[in-house]
Structure 1
Amino acid sequence: MGSSRRAVVVSLPTSSGKTLIAQFRILQALNQFDDQEGWVAYIAPTRALVNQVTRQLRKDFNPLNIIVEQLSPALEFDNIEIDLLKEKQQDAKFRVLVTTPEKLDLMLKLGWEEKIGRPLTLVVVDEAHNINSDHRGLKLELLLATINNESKYAQFLLLTPFINNAKEVARWLGGSNSEDVSLGLDWQPNDRVIGVIKPIKGRPLTKRSFDYSLDFEMIHTSRDTLALDESFSFPNNHKVANSYTKASDQGHIAAMSASYLKKRGPVIVMHSTPAYVWSLAKKIKKGEVKSNTIHEDIALVQKYLLLELGKDFPLIELLEYGIGIHHSGLPEEVRQLIEWLFENERLNYLVATTTIAQGINFPVSGVILASHQYPSKNKAPEDMPPEDFWNIAGRAGRVSQGQLGVIALAAKDDERANLLKNFINKNTGDLNSALIQMAVTANNELDDLGRIVYKYPEWSSFLQYLAHTYRQMDKPEGFIDQIEQVLRGTLGFEKLRLANSNIARQLLQGIRHYTDTYLSDPRAPLKLVDSTGFSIQGIRSVFTHKGDINKNSWNHETLFSEQSPVLKDMMGVLLHVPELRNNFKDVIGHGYEETDKLASIIKDWVNGKSIPEIAESHFSKANEDAVDSITRCGQRLFGKVTQTTSWGLSALLAITASDLPEDELKKLGNLPSQVFYGVNSDEAIVMRLLGIPRTAAKPLANYCKSDSKESLPALRSRLRNLTDSDWNQALGANGQVYRKIWHILEGV
């Protein structure tokens, strides 16, 4: 772990201290470059983890007067973030910056390391096994390759659950000046047992129904010294399932297993989709008794849910049964509050989608999987990668209490039980580049990389990498001859060359064709590639379809007004951009005429309509519960619309209005962030960046009347010192509820 190492990969099981290692290494790096006021970038894969890491680092580094800030995942820079990066006040300069890979990539391509005037000294990559990811892995890999090539002082710390080739990954970034810190899966910081649980038919209850028991078959233990029977029974639970037929269902098995294991401590119960999660929670509720006394923390969250999602939102009642819900259809603040309740043992159950596997950072006594798969948009569900499974399994068992952790996978019959046994016995493998599988999949189409991005949008990251490198090398005539050497700076190309030389050759030929046809064209918008996060093809799509949209189309006062048709026209342009269109199609289908609906959703969001109101207007279906439309609204709005639209509008502004005077451009610069945060004033954006819930952001901004020269740390400190009375004056009778909620979200 010496600071002389260019790259270190820490490959350790979950809950074994990777976070402490990261903090130690951050302090080393800051100390090493203290004279130059060097800074550290901490990359986390999701918005939730960015928030979680920021809170933890602020709490731990605050006594050392180390400023920790975060950037939103929005692929644009509003004026508030620009001021944060340019901050010159000595007591307000950030030293640690937490963000997503995509945001850091855009930041560095826009030249922000040079503009900041202080060196990037360390890049910490949390959940580094995401380099494997077929959706975002290549972006992360190429970001690290770019930093390695362009940031003179940057060192790397990659944190990941166990992988087999940590040394190889470390050498990719650090050469001989690298190190890997690895402990095998046979070492664990806690004891645990993993098994399959299935119903066993019992005695007849009637002529047509039978009793049952639940059989837990042990498949894996964390160490050989654990002496347990290979199988043992869980009791039946007739409140949840009154017969063998009812019990032969994934959800019922998971609910009954969770109910039994709850006696040992809090349990996470997982299913594949939000709809299944709600259904599973109802099944668990059948076997529970409503609490006679409601803890004040539960009551506070219930009040917040009532204010934000309405009195009939079912999570309010579920909390009284000790049941929390966690999925992508819930607002981010609600998910954080449920995590907080669970972590503080106010809940017995956390019922969540399988995607929580990358998002939790606290120990539990048991984990029940009603499903071991992730839903897939266009094909059958996909098995959770081994890395994610072992990540969640590693949370089971409490180190401090020496308690055995239990992980149970629900099987409705013998066929599924055998399938799950094979899944459990899959080990984590090598950390491989996403480029390898992408090249294999696109095999016969590699000769025309300009066309490939329309069919496989994930290739955009690679095309942007080529354009950026070509521009950084000052458009050399011999670029084609140098490209193989450039590609060796990635993790994937050399492995592809060794594994499949024919495909590697095809890729090189495709790059030569792309360079001749697109990169070396004097009109190629290379600078825009770096500033928008689009490929040349994405930018050309904008020019082809922009119609009458130009610098005069942009008006910060009217863009989101009901009367203006401009936003609808802009969304019509963005629907043609290969990097964006799939996310939009998930919301409105394939019809380009639906841009009206998309623009209307965005306007309602920016202008302060509540989630239930937006859900009812745009996402409701006949004869369905409001919770279904709210869940669908949340999934589309938070997962697709806000991020994609803010990115698209920022790029469109750069492409169509770059020749506006600087002061006018600056005035327009916050429009994309209004979409991302769901507010309609610059002052409210500041509040949202500081973690203030959306409903409270504008009235609190009006009350605080922040001076534009006030630094974010100073404003954060002022907010912390506001009293219940201050918040009530700003927001009315419920102000104190929002004050307490914000303190929880900020970790105050």
Structure 2
Amino acid sequence: LYNWAKATETLARYMLQGEPGDPFGMLDKHFEAGIKAAAASGDAQHEVVLRWLHATARIMVTNSLWWATRTVNSRTSDFVRSLTHREHQAMFELLPPQRAALLEQGLLDQAKTAIVVDMPTSGGKTLLAQFRILQALNQFQSKSGWVVYLTPTRALSAQITRRLRTDFEPIGLRVEQLTAAVEVDAFEEELLAQRDEPFDILVATPEKLSLVIRNRKVDRPLVLVVMDEAHNLEYEGRGLRIELLLATVKRDCPQANFLLLMPYVEGSESVARWLAQDVDAGNAISLGTVPWKPNERIIGLYRAVADDSARGGWRLDFETLTTTAKAMPLRGTHRVGGVKPIDVPKSQVLTGGVQKGLGLQTAAIGAVMSKRGTSVAVANSIRTVWKMAGEAARSLPEMENVPSDIRLVQDFLRTEISADFRLVGMLDKGVGVHHAGLSDDVRALMEWLAETGSLRMLCATSTIAQGINFPVSSVFLSSRYMPQGTRSVEIVPREFWNLAGRAGRIGHDSVGVVGLAEGTDRDALIAFVSQSTGALVSRLVVLLDELAAQGSLAELSDVLWKDQWEDFRCYIAHLWTEKKNLDAVLADSDQLLRQTYGYTSMRNDPQQRQKADALLDATQRYVRKLADMPEGIAELADSTGFSPEGVQAAMGGFGHLESRLTVSDWAPESLFGSGGRMADLFGVMLRVPQLSQNLMELGGRGADRTRISEITNDWVNGKGLEAIAKEYFRRENDDEAGTGALTDACRAIYRTIVNSGTWGISALSRVAGIDFDALSDADKRRINALPAMIYHGVSSEDAVLMRMNFAPRSAAEALGKLYRDVASEDERRYSVEQARRFLRQLGTDEWDRAKPEGAPLSGAGYKRVWEILSGDVS
């Protein structure tokens, strides 16, 4: 027993503290002595137990964090120590694929400059990224190197920032997040240029990093680019933009290494070779090399079936299509729930044997399966999401005790949006909603409620697949199609499996259930589920393939002016800006194009070289046109993110104004005031192709610039979402709570104004010809802060700092005034880090003073919400 106790003590000390450095000698000594004593005394049972524990102890040591990272560096040791000692969700062991990546597949091999990690959802990619980040920062510590972590969405950016701050701040690393706006505001400029307390890790979207790199906003070396959800490289919307960003980083940041994280990608070696400095410096790590799987799941189809046991009765059947090896053997068709799982007539889900109302069927099966844990019901439109959530909430029983976390979020919604907001009542039944018609704060709180297990069911659009990490027991899709612009496209297999991976994740339910509404195309759905994911294909290659199929490859120079090639034209403009010499750019154009994945792939394939030649020829022709443009156009395109054609359109728009804008017109109190020139600026934006489509959707068929400017001014001047919805988005057939109007208002603000409006204001301030050199530092900062005021919906610089640090909008102005009173006129108060320290030390009394009069959310509630949104939560 003594030896057993000493062996256990040794194992515990090593798992918690990493001591002694080599525990195997001590473990072997005590277990072997104990086994010998048990055998000598004839205690066979004790001997067998000790033999099993000896083997178990050795496995625990080799799987532990300490063993896997024992030879890396001191920063990594500090990180492991903080993981094993934190109060909540302490970590002691690696998952099998994490261990394989670290110890067997060279994740931390410094000779590898580009690594692609192919692991499905919940395989543990983020922790691997953290180890690689620590290695890069340690390797370039003497040069003050920095790391960027790229995420595709604002919601995922906030989530990753919270996680990195929680894990890295205890070991002295500074993590900062840039907004998703396609511009760099005054406070971000200060943050990026700071030298006394520089950031170590930056979290940003690809579009934001593109501006930072092209305009050289950071004068320290970028040493590692981590890209989450990197399979977006092949997507139509932004795939080309991401590819060209990586090409720009390769060219402009020679010390940068790459770590791409993606799920379900075959043949990722080619991507690693493209990014690597030489052919042997790329490494592809795939989960397929280990037998372990992150979750067990059952995948099938569900459908409505008539049930005559009740009048107008119907029920749901679930037919299993596939199961993983260790999931329960659930073959065949099975009944789900009782008759009328939600209270809607049979005619809404089944007519004459034909399936209909797939959103209602999805709501029904999600409600039934919520008994075994949080279920996610996915639809392809916001309207359907609201309908699903409403029917599910109507049918689910009352919660015996509504969790305090839900009460907190309800008070937040009443304060920030409306006392009658429909989601408030749904949360009483444990039903949440997640879609683009909600603010980032609301979506983050929905994710938090799912993480804490407070939600029974979450109704969402397919964007939830982009890397959101919270536990669910089941996922149900009403359709395999998703909207893309004005059309619907089939979800690519990779995105479906990424979404399916949310169910039954490691550490949550052991078996996840994934279902698709059968509808009227059963055979097509079965074929869809059986599709393989395949290799990544460059958007450049896809665009050229489409032209070749149309027989238009020779006319590529004429096609290059179309919208889908806008990102490519911006890339060429950046190359032109770097050299500003026609002969030099023409001579290097082939080498410059080889920085891209698509061109490299085509050049290396004899059957594709004709397309590569066509792209090279079109590029050289476009360079000649750039050379003929007025001086400064390409440079402005590079600094604003507009295409050269967009810059010319903006200049033309300014030329058509009745009077020229002066510096005083750009002052916040003037621009956002009743007689300001905001409408003129939106009129210019409507001429720029990269902005006009989104703005015209908000303004209506008539592209009403006045309406857009009025919404923007009201938003910046503090008007609430409910008031904006009633004034500008009222519908005739809306429900009593005005859900449709509120949804339209949120989409208009958070999708259009926050993106296109901020980008437009920032770019136009440069195109307008303002002589920034003649302005005082205070005036420069105020003009550069305009986009941030629009982005955050506040009208002062101090309030912007509060919002950048996740303070709720309804309290931001009052908190900004408190901050200004404390910091006085100290110019250092415009530091994001200093503002965060101020918020951190605020007590409940200060939050009470900052909250609006009569707000349902208390001061303590505001403080708690801020802690959750900022990741400063215990």
TM-score under structure 2 normalisation? Answer: 0.81
Rate the CA distance shift 1:318–1:723 in 2: closer, same or farther, 3 A: same
Q: 1:494-517: per-residue Cα shift (whole Å, max 9, x none)?
A: 334546444443333322221112
Identity among equivalent pairs (%)? 36
Indicate the structure (1 or 2) with the bigger Cα radius of gyration: 2
The counterpart of 1:617, out of the listed 718, 727, 743, is: 727
The offset of 1:451, in angstroms, is 6.6
- Structure 1 stretch displaced more, 259-268 or 393-402: 393-402
Match of 2:841 in 1: 721
| Aligned residue identity for 1:156 | F
Deviations along 1:361-399, one digit per CA (max 9) or x if unpaired, are 1221111112222123322x2122222211111111142
Superposed CA RMSD in Å reads 2.2
Give the secondary-structure state (helix, strand or coil) at the position aligned to 1:545. helix
Q: Distance in 1 between matches of 2:602 and 2:742?
A: 45
Match in the other structure for 1:465: 571
Q: How far did 1:481 drift? A: 3.6
SS in 2 for 1:350: strand
Q: What's 1:199 paired with?
A: 304
Q: Which residue of 2 aligns with 1:30?
A: 137
The aligned amino acid for 1:301 is: V
Q: Which residue does the alignment assign to 2:295?
A: 190
Residue matched to 2:751: 639
3-state SS, counterpart of residue 223 of structure 2:
strand
Whether 2:361 is the aligned partner of 1:256: answer: no
From 134, 156, 176, the equivalent of 2:280 is 176
**What is the alpha-carbon distance in structure 2 between the residues aligned to residue 438 and residue 80 of structure 1?**
38
Match of 2:446 in 1: 338
SS of the residue 2:305 aligns to: strand
* Partner Cα separation in structure 2 for residue 62 and residue 613 of structure 1: 40
What is the alpha-carbon distance in structure 2 between the residues aligned to residue 361 and residue 223 of structure 1? Answer: 24
CA distance in 2: counterparts of 1:561 and 1:30, whole angstroms: 43
Alignment partner of 1:47 out of 141, 154, 163: 154
Deviation at 1:26, TM superposition (A): 0.4
Say if 1:449 and 1:530 are closer, same or farther in 2 by CA, change over 3 A.
farther
Describe how 1:467-486 pairs up with structure 2 within 5 A: 467-486=573-592
Shift in Å, 1:99: 0.3
Q: Is the 8 A contact 2:802 2:835 kept in 1?
A: no
Letter of the structure 2 residue corresponding to residue 686 of structure 1: L
Q: 1:313 to 1:451 in 2, by over 3 A?
A: farther
Q: 1:648 aligns with which of 760, 766, 779?
A: 760
For 1:148, the equivalent position in structure 2 comes to 250
Q: Does the aligned pair in 2 maintain the 1:187–1:222 contact within 8 Å?
A: no
- 1:572 corresponds in structure 2 to 683
C-alpha distance in structure 1 between counterparts of 2:338 and 2:525, whole Å: 22
Partner in structure 1 of residue 183 of structure 2 = 76
C-alpha deviations, 1:562-597, integer Å up to 9, x for none? 4325111111111011111111122123434x1111
Q: Which residue of 2 aligns with 1:134?
A: 236
1:105 partner amino acid:
S
Query: How far apart in 1 are the matches of 2:562 and 2:869?
Result: 40
Deviations 1:499-543 (A, max 9, x none): 644444333332222111223546252221211001110111011
CA contact (8 A) 1:325 1:350 kept: yes
Taking the TM superposition and a 5 Å limit, the aligned residue runs for 1:67-106 are 67-89=174-196, 92-106=197-211
Q: Could you tell me how far 1:640 is from its partner in structure 2? A: 1.2
Cross-structure match for 1:581 = 692
Aligned to 2:215: 110
Aligned residues: 735
Tell me if structure 1 keeps the 8 A contact 2:148–2:204. Answer: yes
SS across alignment from 1:579: helix
How far is 1:109 from its partner?
0.6
1:700 aligns with 2:818: no
Closer, same or farther in 2 for the Cα pair 1:450/1:83, shift >3 Å? farther
Alpha-carbon spacing, 1:551–1:359, altered in 2? closer, same or farther (3 Å): farther
Match of 1:540 in 2: 648
Partner of 1:659: 771
Deviations 1:656-710 (A, max 9, x none): 1342314243331111211111111111111111111111111001012244314
- The 8 Å contact of residues 178 and 202 in structure 2, kept in 1 or not, is answered as yes
CA distance in 1, matches of 2:852, 2:794: 19
- Aligned-pair distance for 1:237? 3.6
Larger displacement relative to structure 2 (52-61 or 501-510): 501-510
Distance 2:628 2:590 in 1: 17
User: Which 10-residue stretch deviates more, 711-720 or 174-183?
Assistant: 711-720
CA 1:600 to 1:446, structure 2 compared with 1: closer, same or farther past 3 Å? farther
**Number of the residue aligned with 1:164:** 266
Structure 2 counterpart SS, 1:134: coil
Which of the numbers 783, 801, 819 marks the counterpart of 1:686?
A: 801
Distance (whole Å) between structure 1 residues aligned to residue 602 and residue 121 of structure 2: 30
Conserved 8 A contact 2:375-2:458: yes
Q: Does 1:439 align with 2:547?
A: no
Q: Distance in 1 between matches of 2:329 and 2:709?
A: 61
Instruction: Decide which of 686, 702, 705 is 1:595's aligned counterpart.
Output: 705
The amino acid of 1:229's aligned partner reads R
State the SS of the aligned residue for 2:143. Answer: coil
Q: Deviations over 1:286-311 (max 9, x none)?
A: 32112242221111111111112222
For residues 298-330 of structure 1, what are the alpha-carbon distances to aligned partners after superposition, in whole Å with 9 as ceiling and x for unaligned?
Answer: 111111111122221111111010101111111
| Residue-by-residue CA offset, 1:688-739 (whole Å, 9 max, x unaligned) | 1111111111100101224431443333123112111111122256433222
Structure 1 CA distance, aligned partners of 2:192 and 2:183? 13
Distance in 2, Cα, partners of 1:334 & 1:563: 30
Q: Is the 8 A contact 2:811 2:852 kept in 1?
A: no
Match of 2:828 among 709, 716, 725: 709
How far, CA to CA, are the matches of 1:70 and 1:720 in structure 2?
Answer: 17
Task: Show the 5 A alignment for 1:513-524.
Answer: 513-519=621-627, 521=629, 523-524=631-632
CA distance in 2, matches of 1:667, 1:285: 47
Contact 2:161-2:176 at 8 Å conserved across structures: yes
Structure 1: 5+ residue runs without aligned partners? Answer: none
| Candidates 724, 741, 746, aligned match of 2:865 | 741
Q: Identify if the C-alpha distance between structure 1 residues 475 and 559 changes in structure 2 by more than 3 Å, giving closer, same or farther.
A: farther
SS of the aligned residue for 1:407 comes to strand
Q: Which of 113, 123, 128 is matched with 1:21 structurally? A: 128
1:216 aligned onto 2:318: yes
**Aligned residue for 1:416?**
521
Give me the whole-angstrom Cα distance separating, in 2, the residues matched to 1:610 and 1:448.
51
Task: Give 1:67 shift.
Answer: 0.3
Per the alignment, in what secondary structure is the counterpart of residue 116 of structure 2? strand
Give unpaired runs (5+ residues) of structure 2. Answer: 1-106, 351-356
SS state of the match for residue 554, structure 1? helix
CA deviation profile, 1:72-97 (whole Å, cap 9, x unmatched): 111222221111112222xx320000
The alpha carbon displacement at 1:226 in A equals: 5.0
- In 2, Cα distance between the equivalents of 1:558 and 1:172? 50
Greater relative contact order, per chain length (Cα 8 Å cut-off, separation 6+): 1
Question: CA–CA distance in 1 between the matches of 2:325 and 2:543?
Answer: 38
Q: State how far apart, in whole Å, the 2-side matches of 1:243 and 1:583 are.
A: 39
Do the aligned residues in 1 keep the contact of 2:762 with 2:787 (CA within 8 Å)?
A: yes
Shift of the 297–21 alpha-carbon distance from structure 1 to 2, 3 Å rule, reads: same
**Take 2:532 and 2:307, find their aligned partners in 1: how far apart are those partners?**
35
Whole-Å separation in 2 of the counterparts to 1:586 and 1:402: 42
The whole-number CA distance in structure 2 between the counterparts of 1:695 and 1:446 is 54
Query: Deviation of residue 252 (structure 1)?
Result: 2.6
Corresponding residue to 1:555 among 666, 671, 680: 666
Change (3 A) 1:445 1:650: farther
